[in-house]
């Protein structure tokens, strides 16, 4: 009987994870999907990279931003929400990597999506001491621009090379160690 209970529980959990739609209605009606996390440490070979879409918007706090500001640097784009539990784990780790690499030609940009009130995002940034900028994108428009990668899974992280090409894509939480390995590889490229 003791062996049967874990097996039945595992079957129920698996059935719950695979049945029905994988779309989740988040806050104001936008659809974001929770998908299986990507393998760690995979960098797209330079010859196979696509140019990232251009985008612009308003940063938390009101300043304007354009993706052209990322040109020439390696960039880490992190799609997050204050409502996202894995974001609470990875965002402080991203801050540590940002602090270590900001003078080495690596820019971080958060993309806050699906917040009903900018104050939630600002409180999140303050709570975790985040110093890199974040776009306030309540309608998920930038995520839609990256829909081929898929940035509609939260959290998602996209690493751009110095030529603004997509060098790595993560869905799900990214460990600090893995992010550092990928950034080191992209920074080493000529």
Mean pLDDT of 157-178: 93
The mean per-residue pLDDT over the stretch 115-136 comes to 95
| Contact yes or no for 49/42 (Cβ under 8 A) | no
- Out of 3.40.50.720, 3.40.50.970, 3.40.50.11540, 3.40.30.10, the CATH code matching 22-188 is 3.40.30.10
- Residue 117's pLDDT is 92
- Read off the pLDDT of each residue in 2-11 and give the average, rounded to a whole number: 36
Query: For residue 91, is pLDDT > 80?
Result: yes
For the residues 49-70, what does the mean pLDDT come to? 95
- Assigned token pair, 186: 């992209």
pLDDT of amino acid 150: 66
A 10 A CB-CB count for 71 gives 13
pLDDT of residue 16: 27
Residue 67 is predicted with a pLDDT of: 97
pLDDT above 90: percentage of residues in the chain: 62
Question: Residue 162 in contact with residue 73, Cβ under 8 Å?
Answer: yes
- What pairs with residue 176 in β-bridges? none
Split at pLDDT 50, 70, 90, the class of 151 is low
**pLDDT at residue 40, rounded to an integer:** 58
Q: How much of the chain exceeds pLDDT 70, in percent?
A: 76
For residue 148, what pLDDT is reported?
Answer: 79
DSSP at 104 = G
Q: Cα(143)–Cα(149) distance, rounded to whole angstroms?
A: 9
Residue pair 74/189 in contact by the 8 Å Cβ criterion: no
Confidence grade of residue 130 (pLDDT, cut at 50, 70, 90): very high
Domain borders along the chain are 22-188
**54 CB burial (10 A radius; 0-12, 13-18, 19+):** exposed
Cβ atoms within 10 Å, residue 134 = 23
Confidence of residue 159 (pLDDT cuts 50, 70, 90): very high
Confidence of residue 140 (pLDDT cuts 50, 70, 90): confident
Confidence of residue 13 (pLDDT cuts 50, 70, 90): very low
**CA-to-CA distance for 50 and 53, rounded, in angstroms?**
9
Token pair of 164 as six digits: 């603004």
Q: Does residue 37 carry a pLDDT above 70? A: no
Helix (H, G, I), strand (E, B) or coil at 175: coil
Q: Element (H or E) spanning 33, and its range?
A: strand 30-33
Q: CB of 81 within 8 A of CB of 87?
A: yes
pLDDT at 22: 35
Between 148 and 73, where is the model more confident?
73
């Amino acid at each position: 009987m003791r062996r049967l209970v874990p097996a039945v529980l595992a079957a129920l959990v698996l059935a719950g994870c695979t049945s029905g739609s994988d779309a989740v209605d988040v806050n104001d009606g936008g659809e974001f999907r929770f998908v299986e996390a990507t393998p760690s440490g995979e960098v797209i070979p330079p010859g196979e990279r696509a140019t990232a879409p251009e985008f612009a918007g308003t940063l938390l706090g009101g300043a304007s931003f354009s993706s052209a500001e990322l040109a020439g640097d390696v960039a880490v784009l992190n799609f997050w929400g204050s409502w996202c539990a894995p974001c609470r784990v990875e965002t402080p780790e991203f801050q540590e990597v940002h602090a270590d690499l900001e003078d080495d030609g690596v820019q971080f940009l958060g993309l806050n999506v699906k917040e009903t009130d900018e104050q939630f995002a600002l409180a999140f940034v303050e709570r975790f001491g985040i110093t890199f900028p974040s776009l306030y994108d309540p309608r998920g428009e930038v995520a839609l621009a990256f829909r081929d990668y898929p940035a509609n899974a939260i959290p998602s992280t996209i690493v751009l090379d110095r030529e603004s090409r997509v060098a790595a894509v993560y869905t799900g939480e990214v460990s600090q160690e893995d992010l550092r390995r990928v950034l080191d590889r992209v920074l080493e490229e000529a």
